[in-house]
Amino acid sequence: AAGTNVTRFAQQVERYRPRAIAMASTSALEQAERTLRTAGHAAFDQVGSGAGGLTAVATHPDVDLVLCASAGTAALEAVLAAIEAGKTIALANKEVLVMAGRLVMEAARLRGVSILPVDSEHNAIHQCLHGRQPDEIRRLILTASGGPFRDWTGGALERATPQDALDHPTWNMGRKITVDSATLMNKGLEVIEARWLFDVGPEQIAVVVHPQSVVHSLVELRDGSVIAQLGITDMRLPIQYAFSYPDRWDMELPALDLARCGRLDFDTPDLARFPCLELAFRALRAGGALPVVLNAANEVAVEAFLAGRIGFTAIPTVIEQALSAAESDRDLPREADTLAAVRDIDAWARRFSGDLAGEVESKQLHGSPAGRENSDVRGKTSAKR
């Protein structure tokens, strides 16, 4: 299953000859089918598009393991359907657990299905926890590269462009996740994901900035020992770990050269310049609807920033105001305990955040000084800012 890149998808189908295929849109799927028929390959058990196609692929009888690596929230229903069908889930998508962590993990528990983390940080923690008992754990410590703006001043951040944000110093990732890395929201989403994957409380999760990205994450045990997982920056390692678990396979990649790595630095995240991380902790501590609102508002704000409609420092403002509005809206579901409630909260947050981003854009177009709109939208300000 893929998005809308027909050329690349057709190449992959030609190489791997799957029994079932799906694409995000009907037009993309039809174009891919024409391309594949021309190449002499058109025999599929199932063909579909949109959410239905995604679910059909994820629940196909021949499937043993589902790698969920889609962006955003589109795969939530497909993941739940795959769990119900008894498939092992290799999860590279943060939003599924941020939005519906309780639903997904409870469904997996009831069906006896394993959720294996593919994110390098959570994959590292999974490795560090191997053979450990829950009562041995004091803290999970996620590492963050700090993104491209790690050393930028607050004033410079107000002038940051989408191209600046997409220039990540360590990882080659998609546009949305790269911006999330620049705001530290990526780490905030990972904090919420870690809560559900490893069944720990917010007070047991910490974040440190580690620019070299050699230590992928750490676990502190109750006796004070700290176990870390180190490796080169290559996502093939955590993907293969999830595919092979509990075994380990050989892999022809360069070994980690510690002498060449030299020094390894660790710093405390600057929440004044990067408030998105604290907003994620706030949503996690509050629970209920707020993690869903956080995720939706962030997606809307990042999309607006990438389109040049709002400034970089407006992203956390949109998110904070959406969280505050959700806390005071009595008509919004308090708990994200059903799929319908999750989708209702998500839709509300996207509408609210879209309107708010439009107000920010309007102020920018009418000549507001750079950054001023970020602290004066609807008269509300975040305590952190």
Q: Is it the case that residue 65 has pLDDT exceeding 70?
A: yes
Question: What is the end-to-end Cα distance of the chain in Å, rounded?
Answer: 41
User: Residue 43's pLDDT band (boundaries 50, 70, 90)?
Assistant: confident
User: Residue 129's pLDDT band (boundaries 50, 70, 90)?
Assistant: very high
Kindly state the tokens that stand for 88: 């092992």
Q: Are 293 and 323 in contact (CB under 8 A)?
A: yes
Mean pLDDT, range 295-306, rounded to an integer: 96
Alpha-carbon Rg for the chain, nearest whole angstrom, is 21
User: Residue 41's pLDDT band (boundaries 50, 70, 90)?
Assistant: confident
Phi and psi torsions of 248, nearest 5°: -125, 135
Q: Where are the alpha helices (DSSP H) in the chain?
A: 6-16, 26-38, 50-58, 76-84, 94-111, 120-128, 154-158, 162-165, 175-183, 185-198, 236-244, 258-261, 276-286, 290-306, 314-328, 339-365
Whether omega for the bond prior to residue 246 falls within 30 degrees of 0, making it cis, is yes
Q: Is it the case that residue 45 has pLDDT exceeding 80?
A: no
Q: Are 123 and 98 in contact (CB under 8 A)?
A: no
Q: Are 207 and 269 in contact (CB under 8 A)?
A: yes
245-261 pLDDT per residue, tens: 999 999 999 999 999 99
pLDDT of 171: 67
pLDDT of 131: 87
User: Residue 193's pLDDT band (boundaries 50, 70, 90)?
Assistant: very high
Q: CA of 326: how far to CAs of 234, 287, 302, 304, 378, in Å? A: 38, 12, 19, 20, 14
Mean of the per-residue pLDDT values of the chain: 91
Q: Is it the case that residue 39 has pLDDT exceeding 60?
A: yes
349-375 pLDDT per residue, tens: 999 999 999 998 777 655 544 443 443
Which pTM does this prediction carry? Answer: 0.90
CA 9 to the chain's CA centroid: 23
- pLDDT-above-70 percentage for the chain: 94
Q: Is it the case that residue 62 has pLDDT exceeding 60?
A: yes
Q: CA of 156: how far to CAs of 110, 151, 178, 363, in Å? A: 50, 10, 18, 20
